[in-house]
Amino acid sequence: MIKLRNLERSYPLAKEKFFYVLREINLDVQEGDFISVMGPSGAGKSTLLHILGMHDHGWRGEYFLDEAAVHHLKPKERATLRNEQIGFVFQQYHLLDDLTVYENLDIPLSYRRYSKSERAALVADMLDRFQIVGKKDLYPRQLSGGQQQLVGVARAIIAEPKLLLADEPTGNLHSSQGEEIMELFRKLNDEGMTIVQVTHSEKNASYGKRIIQLRDGWIVNK
């Protein structure tokens, strides 16, 4: 599903000098895979995830998502592909503070070609599936961290992406909440969703089928 070849990400330092965050990344992810990316802080894990999520465009190399050569796509085409294929879960949840739970779930759909009734049905379905119907009119600040991340996951998958990217999804949660989220990920993976997560936790990484270690921008094992 994903094929990365010689992918590099760097930032300019001084004249003709660069700081490399990712070096010669070659990676294959199969459909239905569940990969945990691990490594110390500054290893480039989040950068890799944001490149996969097409939030970061300043990289070199080749990136294939299914049949699409992302490295050849224009920004607008990348955005369309991302909207169709990818969902993203953030460590900081990144729910929109001024929107209710219902509206937060509706937002990704409103940016896609869904009719109002389709959106209402999908949001209702998601609220039901995540058992947060009673919280649909609450604002994020009125929810616990675990509940916020639950909404974050629901928002990430509401548009039915094939690939779910999660950047330390349990980083801000206590253990039982984290466990709940990881169980949810496993369930989604069992249902056929491809997942790539970044994590520091060995325990959470063990939910995945494969672990990739990053050190100073290099993949040190697959």
Partner 1 sequence: MILDSFRQDVRVGLRVLFKDKIFCFLAVLVLGLGIGGATTQFTIVNAIVLRGFSFPHPEQLMSVGLIDPKASDQNNNFGLGNIPTAQDYEDLKAAQKSFSMMAGYLSGSTINVTYKNNPQRYTGGYVTEDLFKIIGVSPVIGRDFTAADNKPGAEKVAILGDEIWRRDFNADPNIVGQGIRINGKAATIIGVMPPNFKFPVSEELWTPLYNEFPPQPRGDLRLGASNNAPAVMGRLQPGVTLDQANAEFIALARNLAKDNPKTNQNLTSASVQPLLHAFTGVQFRQQVWGMLAAVILVLLIACVNVMNMQFGRAALRAKELAIRGALGATRWRLVRQMLTESLVVAVFGAIAGVIIAYWSLDFFVRAINTLPFPAPYYWRFTIDGPVLVFTVVITLLATIASGLVPAFLSARGNAAEMMKEGGRGNSSRLVNAITRVLVVAQIALTAGLLIAATLEIKSVRNQMKLDYGYDENAVYAARMGLMEGAYPSDDARREFFKRAARGLRANPQFESAAMSSRFRMTFDAQGQYEVDGQNYLTDRDRPRGNFESVSDNYFSALGLKILEGRDFTVDDVDSKHPVAIVNASLARKYWGIKVRLVTSCESSIPVSRSRGEPLSVSCRTC
Interface residues with partner 1 (CB under 8 A) are: 46-47, 50, 53, 55-56, 76, 79, 82-83, 88, 90-92, 94, 96-99, 103, 107-108, 110-112, 115-116, 155, 159
CB atoms within 10 A of CB 218: 15
Phi, psi of 200 (to 5 degrees): -95, -15
Q: Which is nearer to partner 1, 159 or 186 (CB)?
A: 159
103 or 179: CB nearest partner 1? 103
For residues 83 and 111, the answer to whether their CB atoms sit within 8 Å is yes
Which CB sits closer to partner 1, 60 or 209? 60
> In this structure, what token pair is assigned to residue 184?
């949810």
Of 112 and 209, CB closest to partner 1: 112
Closest CB 116 distance from partner 1, rounded Å? 6
Shortest Å distance, C-beta 58 to partner 1: 9
| Helical segments of the chain, H only | 45-52, 75-85, 101-110, 116-129, 145-157, 175-190, 202-205
For partner 1, the closer of residues 136 and 186 by Cβ is 136
CB of 55 to partner 1, least distance (A): 4
Give dist(CA 103, CA 88) in Å, integer. 17
Give me the sheet containing 18-29, strands edge to edge.
18-29, 2-12, 59-65, 68-69
* In the complex, minimum distance from the CB of residue 19 to partner 1, in angstroms, rounded to a whole number: 14
Min separation Cβ 53 and partner 1, Å: 7
Angstrom distance (rounded) from CA 47 to CA 52: 9
